[in-house]
Amino acid sequence: MNVYEQAGFIWSIADLLRGDFKQSEYGKVILPFTVLRRFDCVLAPSKEKILEINETLTISNKTPIFKRHTGHDYYNISKFDFEKLTDDSTAIEANLRDYINGFSEDVKEIMDNFDIFAVIEKLNKAGLLYLVVQKFAEINMSADAINNLEMGYMFEELIRKFSEQSNETAGEHFTPREVIELMADVLLDPDGDILQTDGKVITILDPACGTGGMLSVAQNKIRDNNDKIQVIPFGQELNPETYATCKADMILKGNNNSRVVLGNSFNEDGFKEQKFDYMLSNPPFGVEWKKVEKFIKDEAQNQGYAGRFGAGTPRISDGSLLFLQHMISKMTPVDNGGSRIAIVFNGSPLFSGDAGSGESEIRRWIIENDLLEAIVALPDQLFYNTGISTYIWVLTNRKTDRRKGKIRLVNGVAYFEKMRKSLGNKRNLISEENRNAIVKLYSMYEPHEDYIDFDNTDFGYQKITVERPLYDDKGNAVLDKKGNKKADAALRDTETVPLKEDITEYFKREVLPHVSDAWIDESKTKIGYEIPFTRHFYKFTHLRSSEEIMSEIKELEERISKKMLEVLGE
């Protein structure tokens, strides 16, 4: 069987769970048992030797010896394996617990985060535990049957299947594969030559890695082009179960699992002081950061730009731009090769926040430091838990000369195909043909209606405060102690002036012809940045004339009257 047939067979085991487990809970059983069976098969050749060493060796730390004999970073000292577990159906729960507790600490940690013992207890109460173990014992997952790369693909396929089945939680930790493929393509596209360097070590980070899909796709794309490159994935995840899935996936592929950590990236940064070559992420849309508010604001205030959040903090209801600042802080300096970032956002980070607000200041800092390379608008209804519009932001600190001082907006909203059957809110998908077309829009320089190159300053503006005099009852302007006209707060107004435009000239042209006594309070002028994406690709559709509409109504009325006559037989 190929890996997809293997995944299909494992998937069929879920049929046993129907009725006792909700469909969204199938993965809680199948994924950890798949991991256990893989480890069981891989460790089988050294099983007897490990038991012998454990029995005869008296030293306190046997771990290095166990690892040397297994050839892996994990081992198991229980007398049980899947074959022996099926010998006694009456003691299956106790024996399986003994087997799991016999694993090395890293595997036990994964199983703890899968909450495996609660799963085992529920299976046993339902009379399903022995059947599930028996089914898995029939599957050959040895290294000879399935190598690490194939095992990784198979596990990814299982993750995808269960995530798509679980409409309750799919969007929380699972990004559609075609979106990840597109992100990886625009992330890696300019670096074709760099990625052909044999022996090069590439580091990748996802600070909200979920089940590890983005890390896997990026790693696979690099290796597919050059298998002589060493790719080291790093991930951090807040949810214990999805963390366990990601960490297990890394081990199954032969990656060093210590590079995936559990915790909140904001206040439990698992990779302090570390820098990365590539970063990609899909942080949760519009999730508040109140739980870590004090930590983040303290860091912003006390460390400034020496910390992660010196540019500012967004409104408490949406931490998206905090994730981006966190990733920017981990960019490799340009002198050491620089970094590239791809991150998925909803529309809010493009424009939320007025001039001087946290969001605007973060955008200003990013754009004025020439970090933003491109934004790609995606089709709507791509994600499982939301139908809203989404965007890929691409950032780098090593723009090519042609892109320096520029930001490209790519309009990819029409590049999709309708799905035959929707999955939650997901009704559209990006085909390979669509993806290639979007990547071409990202990289090409021939004129095309679906991309526009802007100067960085095109997205900046100056918000000016326009004051008018306060008049007394006799119509005279009220003066302050210095003889200056007092402003009438009721008449106060603001104007938004493009950053490229001279404020004085704008004021003379747009304001003074209408209110000749007005002036600018320069002390209140603020610079803001926003990216009104849809405005630049808006296409006006002419409304039909009233004559055309009335003609159509008249025609419909005549057709209805004719039908009525036919029905009434007159």
Last residue of a domain, one of 145, 180, 212: 145
Residues 6 or more apart whose Cβ sits within 8 Å of residue 92: 85, 124, 129, 130, 133
**Number of domains composing the chain:** 3
- Once rounded to an integer, what is the mean pLDDT over residues 58-86? 92
What does the pLDDT look like over 262-312, one tens digit per residue?
Answer: 999 999 999 999 999 999 999 988 889 999 999 999 999 999 999 999 999
Give the closest residue to 10 by CA, choosing from 123, 117, 126, 160.
160
pLDDT at 441 over 60: yes
SS3 label, residue 227 = coil
CATH (domain of 284): 3.40.50.150
Do 49 and 124 reside in the same domain of the chain?
yes
pLDDT band for position 258 (50/70/90)?
A: low
Range with the poorest average pLDDT among 150-164, 179-193, 443-457, 470-484: 150-164
Give the closest residue to 263 by CA, choosing from 242, 232, 280, 277.
242
Last residue of a domain, one of 451, 483, 515: 451
What does the pLDDT look like over 18-34, one tens digit per residue?
Answer: 999 988 888 899 999 99
Q: Are 92 and 137 in contact (CB under 8 A)?
A: no
Residue 98: inside a domain? yes
The whole-number pLDDT of residue 1 equals: 61
Give the closest residue to 372 by CA, choosing from 436, 460, 296.
460
Of 121 and 4, the one with more pLDDT: 121
pLDDT at 173 over 50: no
HEC string of 349-367?
A: HHHCCCCCCHHHHHHHHHH
The whole-number pLDDT of residue 256 equals: 60
Residue 555: inside a domain? no
- pTM for the structure as a whole: 0.86
Alpha-carbon distance of 152 to 130, in angstroms, equals: 26
Do 422 and 528 reside in the same domain of the chain?
no
- Residue 493, CA distances (Å) to 60, 207, 529 in order: 77, 43, 20
pLDDT band for position 383 (50/70/90)?
A: confident
Q: Residue 473's domain spans which residues?
A: 459-534
Do 392 and 476 reside in the same domain of the chain?
no
Percent above pLDDT 70 for the chain: 97
Do 482 and 520 reside in the same domain of the chain?
yes
- Once rounded to an integer, what is the mean pLDDT over residues 211-238? 91
- β 340-346/278-281 pair status: parallel
pLDDT at 240 over 90: yes
Encoded amino acid at 253, one letter: K
Residue 544: inside a domain? no
Range with the poorest average pLDDT among 382-391, 474-483, 489-498: 382-391
Residue 162: inside a domain? no
What does the pLDDT look like over 200-221, one tens digit per residue?
Answer: 999 999 999 988 889 989 998 9
Q: Are 86 and 134 in contact (CB under 8 A)?
A: yes
E strand residue ranges, 53-212: 201-206
Alpha-carbon distance of 281 to 205, in angstroms, equals: 8
What does the pLDDT look like over 39-61, one tens digit per residue?
Answer: 999 999 999 999 999 999 888 89
Evaluated on CA atoms 259, 176, 381, 173, the torsion sign reads: negative
Do 411 and 489 reside in the same domain of the chain?
no
What does the pLDDT look like over 523-557, one tens digit per residue?
Answer: 999 999 999 999 999 877 778 888 889 999 999 99
Instruction: Share the mean pLDDT of the chain.
Output: 91
- Once rounded to an integer, what is the mean pLDDT over residues 223-231? 89
Do 72 and 219 reside in the same domain of the chain?
no
Residue with tokens 């771990």: 63
Do 123 and 189 reside in the same domain of the chain?
no
- Once rounded to an integer, what is the mean pLDDT over residues 466-480? 92
Integer-rounded Cα radius of gyration of the chain? 30
Residue with tokens 């990202």: 442
HSE-CB at 538 with a 13 A cutoff on CA atoms is: 7
- β 340-346/230-237 pair status: unpaired
Do 217 and 334 reside in the same domain of the chain?
yes
- Tokens in use for 366? 């990013």
The whole-number pLDDT of residue 169 equals: 45
Residue 49: inside a domain? yes
Do 126 and 181 reside in the same domain of the chain?
no
* Alpha helices (H) along 57-207: 63-70, 82-85, 92-101, 105-113, 116-125, 129-137, 148-165, 170-173, 177-188
Q: Are 232 and 259 in contact (CB under 8 A)?
A: yes
The whole-number pLDDT of residue 570 equals: 58
Q: Are 419 and 164 in contact (CB under 8 A)?
A: no
Do 92 and 197 reside in the same domain of the chain?
no
Residue with tokens 């003379």: 508
pLDDT at 255 over 90: no
The whole-number pLDDT of residue 566 equals: 82
- Tokens in use for 568? 């009434």
- Tokens in use for 509? 């042209």
Residue 58: inside a domain? yes
Alpha-carbon distance of 293 to 427, in angstroms, equals: 36
pLDDT band for position 423 (50/70/90)?
A: confident
Residues 6 or more apart whose Cβ sits within 8 Å of residue 60: none
Residue 250: inside a domain? yes
Give the burial class of 519: count Cβ atoms within 10 A of its Cβ; 0-12 exposed, 13-18 middle, 19 or more buried.
middle
The whole-number pLDDT of residue 170 equals: 41
Do 425 and 470 reside in the same domain of the chain?
no
What share of residues in the chain are helix, strand, coil (percent, to 5)?
45, 15, 35
- Once rounded to an integer, what is the mean pLDDT over residues 57-84? 92
Last residue of a domain, one of 145, 175, 191: 145
Do 253 and 342 reside in the same domain of the chain?
yes
Residue 14: inside a domain? yes
Alpha-carbon distance of 347 to 194, in angstroms, equals: 32
Q: How many residues does the chain have?
A: 570
SS3 label, residue 248 = helix
